[in-house]
Amino acid sequence: MESIFEKLWRLGPAAFVLKAIVAAILADALLLVFILLRRTYRKRFFAKRDRRVFELRQKWDALISGDIPYETWRKKSFDRRIVETIALDAFEAAGSEESARLLRFLRDSGLIEKRIFEARQLTGWRRMRALVALGRTRAPEGIPALAEALRDRDLEVRLAALRGLGRIACPEAGQEILTWLGESALSVPALPLQSALIQCCAERPQMLTSYVQHAEGPVRELLGRVLGEVATPSMGLDLLQFMGDEREELRAAAARAMSHAGSGLAFDVLNELARDPVWFVRLRAIVGLGGLCEPRAIPALMGGLVDSNRLVRLRAAEALVQLQAQMAQIFAQVVQTRDRYGLHAYLTALENADLREKLGRELQTSTEITEEQRGRLEKVLELGGLWPEDSAKTGNLPDKVALLP
């Protein structure tokens, strides 16, 4: 039997072109007809829908209170979709009292039950749609159906389930995600998973600790990052075990988490982590130290100011600038470091916070510095740079950093 290519070849250009013309003209006509019909259909559909939305909104209170029997609209899929959309949109923007009323309505009318059924029985995009709607209801009874969908073969369905569970945002939903994570490792992109876990574990972050301890590899890192986001002061002691972890992500998470812990415990840990060999661990520790707003943190922040990493320097400078009670002394110490990069970072943070003039006034009135120091510091502040002899330490570095103007 001849292949299609052989047939085409035998046709020759002339016959082929003739057929192609017919095909192309036919395609043009079909496309145009499709556009025309689709537009007409959509115009009618939206007009009908808008009319119905208006009607249903007019009697909304009667609808959700049950004065209008649910069966009157629930059996018509067109009406049901409209009612559900209005209810879910209102639910997302509602306060606690209104939310409770809407949730009661969603339950009593059977809309949640219907979505649970769809989330379990349907496949593909329709299942995905049901999962999203279920998440939007924030009803705990939807959690088992969403958890089942986490085990779906289709990544999009798994993601929809994850987003739904994240939206429900309760520890039970978090528990389901963590159990599934224990079974199947990382089978979805990290960011949506992290996002869902943060939402679910915010209320009870302690539930994460045991999972972090027993998890391995990328899951451990991911859970560490989540822990870093949701940790509370009461978890201080639990977090100590991670500061010496071999994974830098976990040490960084511990640093981030410690910034939420009580300052007494946090200070020593963050001080230690501020000397970590990995830059982003130091960065987290410096940000944490800055958050404590304690003069005790100044030496560690000074260390951060002369760090080899630009971001660490900038964050350290921002933290130092926030310690406004001791601006003059801190500035004197910054100049003493004789580090041009550190000085520039500090001056940038000062300018960004619009505190340059305040520092000028502090220098004039401070009793903590000598007259000679005062003149020198004022000059540095005015020039925005070190004296040539002062900058000897960084003189050999390439002149890559410029202070503007």
The binding site for another protein (CB under 8 A) comprises 13-14, 17-18, 20-21, 24-25, 27-28, 31-32, 34-35, 38-39, 92, 125, 128-129, 131-132, 136, 156, 159-160, 163, 166-167, 189-192, 194-195, 198, 229, 310-311, 314, 341, 344-345, 347-348, 351-352, 354, 384, 400-405
Least gap, CB of 161 to another protein (angstroms): 9
Which CB sits closer to another protein, 144 or 384? 384
In the Cβ-directed half-sphere of 215, how many Cα atoms lie within 13 Å?
27
Q: How far is the CB of 157 from another protein (least distance, A)?
A: 9
Beta carbon of residue 327, minimum distance to another protein (angstroms, whole number): 17
Give whichever of 92 and 108 is closer to another protein, judged by the CB atom: 92
> Where does 241-395 have alpha helices with state H?
248-258, 263-273, 279-292, 298-305, 310-322, 327-336, 340-352, 356-365, 371-383
Q: Which is nearer to another protein, 21 or 62 (CB)?
A: 21
Task: Give min distance, CB of 190 to another protein, in A.
Answer: 7
Report the distance separating Cα 266 and Cα 291, nearest Å. Answer: 11
Nearer to another protein, 143 or 162 (CB): 162
User: What are the C-alpha distances in Å from 108 to residues 153, 168, 249?
Assistant: 32, 19, 46
**Cis link prior to 405 (omega < 30° from 0)?**
yes
Cβ 295 to another protein shortest distance, Å? 25
CB nearer another protein, residue 190 or residue 293: 190
Residue 184 to residue 179: CA distance in whole angstroms: 9
Give every CB contact of residue 132 below 8 A, 6+ residues apart in sequence: 160, 163, 164
CB of 167 to another protein, least distance (A): 7
d(CA 26, CA 169): 53
Nearer to another protein, 267 or 394 (CB): 394
Q: Within 13 A of 196's CA, how many CA atoms are on the CB side?
A: 28
For residues 243 and 269, the answer to whether their CB atoms sit within 8 Å is yes
- Least distance from C-beta 57 to another protein, angstroms? 22
Smallest gap from Cβ 310 to another protein, in A, equals: 7
> What residues contact residue 104 under an 8 Å CB cut-off, 6+ apart?
none
Which C-beta is closer to another protein: that of 25 or that of 392?
25
Select 2 or 354, whichever has its Cβ closest to another protein.
Answer: 354
CA distance 361 to 365: 6
Between CA 55 and CA 49 the distance in angstroms is: 10
CB of 224 closer than 8 Å to CB of 192: no
